A and B are shown apart, each in its own frame.
Chain A
Amino acid sequence: MWALSKRALLYLFTCIIPGLIFAQQCPWNVTGSVKDMSTGIPITNAHVYVKEASLKDVTDSLGLFTIGAVCEGNYHLAISHVGCESQELFLSISGDTSILIFLDHHGQLLNEVAILDQWENPSTEESHSLHSDHMAKYSNKNLATMLEDISGVRTLKNGSGIAKPVVHGLYGNRLTILNNGIAQGGQQWGADHSPEIDPLLANKITVIKGVSALEYMGNSLGSVVLVEPKRIGKEPHLHGEGRYFFESNGLGNGLHLALQQSHKSFAWQAVGTLKKSGDKRTADYFLKNTGNEEAHLALQVEKSWSKKWLSRLYFSSFNANFGVLRGSHIGNLTDLKSALERDVPFYTKDKFSYAIGAPYQKVNHHLLKLQTNYSQGDKESLDISYAQQINLRKEFDVRRSGRSDMPAMSLRQVSSFLEAKYRRALAHHWSFKSGVQLNRVDNSNLPETGILPLIPNYLTYEYGAFGMATKSMKRTTIQIGGRYDFEQRKVAAISNGVPRRVIRHEKEYQAMSAMGGMRHEFNKAWNMSYNLGFATRNPEVNELYSNGLHQGVSGIEEGDPELNKEVSLKHTWSLKGDIKGKLFFEGLFYYQNIDDYIFINPQDEVRLTIRGAFPVFKYEQTDARLMGFDVTATYQASEQMYFKGSYSYLDGYDRKHQMPLVYMPSNHLKGSFNYQIPSLGKFHNVEFQVNSRYVFEQTNLLPSQDFVAPPAGYHLLGLKISGERQLRKLRLVSFIRMENLGNVAYRDYLNRQRYFADDLGFNLLAGFNLKF
């Protein structure tokens, strides 16, 4: 969006027609035209509003508008259209002014080619983004559930508040999440650990459905989630926005505030979010102890030293308490069996409560990033970043003799990251990018639990270097690159046998990755891309050394210190385009082989303990194959109405044992009907949406691979109405949403709570966003 407004401003200044100045008279006309950014087609029914003067107009069939009788002075212009992200411009009027404005209109129909930042060339890899106007209407959601709106993205949940994104069947250690360019630290290995990022601090969240994440240090076997903070606008005045939402399920409330101001060479921004909700409800009963409390903050300061040098300081803090369903806390396999036999979980109460007791998770994550950038136009740029992350995770269980107040797990991770990146435009449409990275991770258990730690203390050093070259021609883009990583890890674990003693391990890993890709535009309407990537992932500490009882699933999990790294080869092929601007199509097919895929395999052994007998699971390696596709089609029936449908298919297969892979998302089908009304009473850009989601039963699984058969498929209906209003200087966006309209009782295969309880019932949400 930044690039866009820059362009718009450029037009603005070149198109100003100088005129004579009459003090305190209002003779000036502001005229202009609004066009679609990608097609150049004029946009009808776009609202143009001069805030300070309370003057407005709506574009005609040629996309033109005229606002007369504007006084000399400084103005803010708001331009909006149904389904587009609204734009704001700052204008100094001292004569008749004519402007050309581009809006990104078809973003809703077709996802754009990723332009990751202003220096970046378009990538050959496929990516999908959510923008702030979308987030404003879904502000109750967490990072993972928000991403579910992107086709091919699902979530692995542990109840309602804890969720991890799953892209093309991979999550946790196999999916890198970047918060403001820094790979998210913390305990991402845990299937019940949400990424510690507040999505509302972001301006844009992008999922790159890629083959190899060369540019980023981390464990990605292909896909990457990029969370980009709000950019500070070039506005000299104090601006900001406030959001509020209420949701009926869980009686949740949320408040979000963002402020920003830009001076000549210095700019700042502060963003904060508060959320609280209580016990959620399924179709038939409350889920005891499923409330959340969250408080997040981000501060950003920008200072430009000269035209070429710019420094940024970014600090964000994520703080949350997540309640875990009381009835899902079990002691042994007998407890699990009796929970499985029940329709309604133990401890279910008739009354709603905000109280959060054990079991719950208390998570804090702080990030400090210092970045200095040198850039010489589009020619070359150098970026040096330093980042420090502190992740604290305490998990509380139901314990004897008041020990519930003592965490059962308490981990602190401190990671420090240093990076230098360099980009340069070369001759013959080539551009080159390379970088070096260093990361240090210090993970330790805090001795306050009175329990043997699940994962050991460790210290890791990672060194990496990458190089990428891109050739962007008129219709074809080619990309090629490679990466090398070296990792050194020292581990200090406590023995399982008595007397307890410290056992030390030391390991070194080397890894190479490479990718190549091509995107080709056949004509204005159709393009395709093909990418091939080779990537590796080192075994994570939990896979190597975990040893003990995993409470949530009632099994003894044993790591294997001898595990090798995983090796992945992934192909993606995408095709997208439109037929006469009416029917839009987008398809992405992928095929991925992962050799030495690490998974947790149930053993024939049953281990006797004083709490009963437990099945034993061991981390083992096999050869996996993931294959699937995401297709989306949109039909623009009229200027005001469109239909959208998408289908995602995934097949996970264990090539060595010739059986399915566990925890793979089942196939799902989504559809929506959208109707847009340019003006309705005092509201404009009114949007009405009915959406439907069908999640198929996961039939690609053997009965021996789970305690219980995967739940049946389910169908959920939703409704959304939103509208905008300009109240002098304030811009109001309000919405009403309904989720699970039919109050359907269902369970989802990817929700670990499905053994114990149904998923969420009906939910009514209402909220607004005020921009000033």
Chain B
Amino acid sequence: MKQINALLALSVLSLVFFSSCKKDDPKEPVIPNEEEVITTLNLTLTPVGGGTPVEFKFKDLDGDGGNPPVISVGKLDTNTQYTGSIALFNELESPADTITLEVEEEADEHQFFFESTANGLTVAYDDADDNGKPLGIATTITTQGASTGTLTITLRHEPIKDAAGVSMGDITNAGGETDIEVTFDVGIE
């Protein structure tokens, strides 16, 4: 008798199994709230003596895939000192999320690096984390003679800020993950 019970239990189980097959669909995907994505980097350079700010923009609204990013650059003047300021946004969110705040909050875990191939263009850090190590949201950018080249801005997450040269803005020993790496064409006239 018992074996018949066992068989019965099994067939009930299989019935449950089969009946669940009807009009079965995968779970409806939940479109995630991608609050961590950085879509936009703006570098605003304001001449120290006053004047019209110069804007460098990198915007990739759909993240890694899809459409290519939109890059716009401004022209720099020769022999000028600029106050540089970086702003990061997530424009997937509406209204756009200011990611710069997150970076400021975790200043000790972040650092921007600037590498330029344009002659005479130098970048100096104007801000620091709680340990006195540079962050790079605020900078002073100085130009000399006329030149062209590129400016690469890198944001590293969890860099090794104590490593040799890192606090001087040398990325070589920094390590960490790259959160941002954008390259702008620079013209100094």
Contacts and interface: CB of A to CB of B under 8 A. Distances in A.
Nearest to A374: B3
A607 B179 CA distance: 16
Contacts of A502: 28-29, 31
A457 B181 contact: no
B181 A309 contact: no
Given A461-B21, A609-B60, A444 B36 contact: no
A529 B37 CA distance: 58
B76 to A, nearest CB: 22
A527 interface: no
B105 to A, nearest CB: 7
A305 B176 CA distance: 63
A492 B63 contact: no
Interface stretch (B48-56, B64-72, B78-86, B135-143): B64-72
Interface stretch (A277-285, A399-407, A467-475): A399-407
B14 A331 contact: no
A266 to B, nearest CB: 12
B3 to A, nearest CB: 4
A547 B60 CA distance: 17
A612 B178 contact: yes
Contact of A440 (B7, B21, B67, B182): B21
A309 B158 contact: no
A608 B64 CA distance: 8
Contacts of B35: 450
Contacts of A438: 17-18
Contacts of B38: 610
Interface in A412-462: 416, 418, 438, 440, 442-445, 447, 449-453, 456-459, 461
A8 interface: no
Contacts of B58: 610
A492 B177 contact: no
Nearest to A447: B30
A716 B41 CA distance: 50
Nearest to B177: A331
A520 to B, nearest CB: 41
Interface in B1-53: 2-3, 6-7, 10, 13-14, 17-18, 20-21, 24-36, 38-41
A517 to B, nearest CB: 33
A452 B63 contact: yes
Contacts of B103: 400
B103 to A, nearest CB: 8
Interface string A478-492: 000000000000111
A346 B175 contact: yes
B60 A610 contact: yes
A440 B17 contact: yes
Contacts of B129: none
Nearest to A400: B102
Nearest to A371: B10
Contacts of A399: 36
Contacts of A78: none
A418 B17 contact: yes
Contact of B14 (A332, A386, A610): A386
Contacts of B92: 498
Contact of B177 (A335, A491, A497, A609): A335
B170 interface: no
A338 B28 CA distance: 41
Contacts of B29: 444-445, 453, 456-457, 492-494, 502
Contacts of B161: none
- Bin chain B's interface residue count: 35 or more
Contacts of A442: 26-27
Nearest to A496: B65
A372 interface: yes
Contacts of A490: 24-26
Contacts of A346: 160, 175-176
B87 interface: no
Given A335-B177, A458-B26, A608-B68, A452 B6 contact: no
Contact of B26 (A308, A453, A459, A501): A459
A493 B26 CA distance: 10
A386 B177 contact: no
B90 to A, nearest CB: 11
B61 interface: yes
B3 A347 contact: no
A398 B157 contact: yes
A308 B64 CA distance: 61
Given A372-B6, A416-B17, A457-B29, A330 B177 contact: yes
A370 B66 CA distance: 47
A332 B160 CA distance: 17
B69 A459 contact: no
A400 B36 contact: yes
A496 B66 CA distance: 6
Interface string A586-626: 00000000000000000000011111101000000000000
A611 B178 contact: yes
Contacts of B17: 386, 416, 418, 438, 440
Contact of B28 (A332, A492, A614): A492
A332 B181 contact: yes
B127 interface: no
Given A492-B25, A492-B29, A418 B64 contact: no
A417 to B, nearest CB: 9
A759 B142 CA distance: 47
B62 A496 contact: yes
Contacts of B181: 331-332, 334, 610-612
A556 interface: yes
A583 interface: no
A311 B62 contact: no
B106 interface: yes
B32 A449 contact: yes
Given A331-B179, A384-B10, A611-B181, A492 B27 contact: yes
B26 A444 contact: yes
B108 to A, nearest CB: 13
A503 to B, nearest CB: 9
Contacts of B21: 440, 461
A449 B92 CA distance: 16
Contacts of A400: 36, 102-103, 106, 157, 179
Nearest to B67: A497
Interface in A542-600: 547-549, 556
A612 B177 CA distance: 12
B34 A331 contact: no
A720 B181 CA distance: 51
Contacts of B67: 497
Interface string B159-183: 0100000000000100111111110
A398 B25 contact: no
A602 to B, nearest CB: 17
A500 interface: yes
A498 B26 contact: no
A394 interface: no
Contact of B180 (A374, A403, A456, A610): A610
Nearest to A461: B21
B177 A329 contact: yes
A306 interface: yes
B109 to A, nearest CB: 8
12 contacts: A327-B175, A331-B178, A338-B175, A346-B175, A386-B10, A416-B17, A452-B34, A457-B28, A458-B26, A459-B27, A490-B25, A491-B26
Shortest 4 CB-CB distances between A and B: which pairs?
Answer: A331-B178, A346-B175, A612-B181, A447-B30
Interface of A: 305-306, 308-309, 311, 327, 329-332, 334-335, 338, 346-347, 370, 372, 374, 384, 386, 398-401, 403, 416, 418, 438, 440, 442-445, 447, 449-453, 456-459, 461, 490-494, 496-498, 500-502, 547-549, 556, 607-612, 614
Given A309-B3, A334-B178, A457-B29, 13 more contacts: A305-B3, A334-B181, A401-B105, A418-B17, A440-B20, A451-B36, A492-B26, A494-B29, A494-B32, A608-B68, A610-B40, A610-B181, A611-B179
